[in-house]
Amino acid sequence: MTTATTVTSATSASQRLALTALILGAATIGCSPIFVRLSEVGSLTTAFWRVALAMIPLLLWSGATSGREQEQRRPVGLKDRLALVVPGFMLAGDLAAWHISLHMTSVANATLLANMAPIFVTLASWLLFRTRISGTFMTGLALALVGVVVLKGGPGAFSGGNMAGDVVAIVAAMFYAGYMLSLARIRSQFSTLTAMLWTTGSAAVFILPMALVFETGFWPQTLFAWAMLLGLAWMTHASGQGLIIYALAWLPPAFSSLTLLIQPVMAAILAWMILGEPIGPMQAIGGAVVLAGIFVARRG
């Protein structure tokens, strides 16, 4: 009985640490719209440099920990390598689709619809993996999604968009759902570092051809442009995604994707602090509803 209690206590502590990491990761990724807005290269090119430059700290981390027994196991054979590349493909699809949607529909529509990923994660978890979804969790999910809509301006924010662009934004949400689910599957087998290296590197490989074909001005021309890309790569991707990938070893992907709705809340706060975009009563209420929804879902 004592051993079982100790194991349960250790698991609970690990889950609390994972939840803290997830929230910090979501808050960090919430900074990404600021860097993207200030980037001086194209959207797809920005997405490429985001993952390509993130490889620098990841490779340094890998070199610093080489020879230590920190990994659960290394990928062996084609099956392992394909499993590690799938999240990278999904991430590349998410970034490309979302950036393209920003040029086809309104920014409000693109952001709102791309944040619908928790719906697809929850649905796929139930259909594919028969994950039990409680009523309390569904209530929290609905509450958080309503909060995002309110945060972004209410139902009226959907007006003025373009149907094709809206569909592309929904495709981005589906890709992000696939990213979360495929990451959750490999985290039971591989370490955070291994997952980050393979996911980030493969995403860069998938995005590079799109950036070269569809955009010009591949190389940043100013120190400010490089600084924005380095901030996006090192702060939001290497740090933020690293924390999220760590958390996925302990938390269900459906709840993890829901908690990532903290991102638009953080983005709104940073846009107010850095870009001078005002936060009105509706945005404040929306942010509070998002956080309340996450709290309810956590209890479920």
pLDDT tens sequence across 101-124 = 767 776 656 666 777 777 778 777
The per-residue pLDDT for 69 is: 47
239-275 pLDDT, tens digit per residue, is 888 888 888 777 777 776 666 677 667 767 776 777 6
Distance (Å, whole) CA 143 – CA 219: 43
The per-residue pLDDT for 27 is: 79
What is the pTM (predicted TM-score) of this model? 0.76
- Greater confidence (193 vs 31) lies with 193
Give exposure, 121-138, as e/b (b: 16+ Cβ within 10 Å).
bbebbeeeeeeeeeeebe
Least confident of 128-137, 148-157, 249-258, 278-287: 148-157
Q: How far is C-alpha 161 from the chain's CA centre? A: 24
125 pLDDT higher than 80? no
Residue 233 pLDDT level (bands cut at 50, 70, 90): very high
The per-residue pLDDT for 101 is: 79
- Greater confidence (57 vs 119) lies with 57
Q: What is the mean pLDDT of residues 138-154?
A: 75
Among 181, 214, 9, residue whose Cα is nearest residue 103: 214
Cβ partners under 8 Å of residue 133, min gap 6:
122, 125, 126, 254
* Alpha-helical segments (H) within 30-162: 32-38, 43-64, 77-102, 107-114, 117-129, 135-151
Helix (H) or strand (E) holding 8: helix 2-29
Cβ partners under 8 Å of residue 94, min gap 6:
114, 172, 175, 176, 179
The per-residue pLDDT for 3 is: 53
Residue 190 pLDDT level (bands cut at 50, 70, 90): confident
Query: Greatest CA span in the chain, whole angstroms?
Result: 65
The per-residue pLDDT for 205 is: 96
The per-residue pLDDT for 31 is: 76
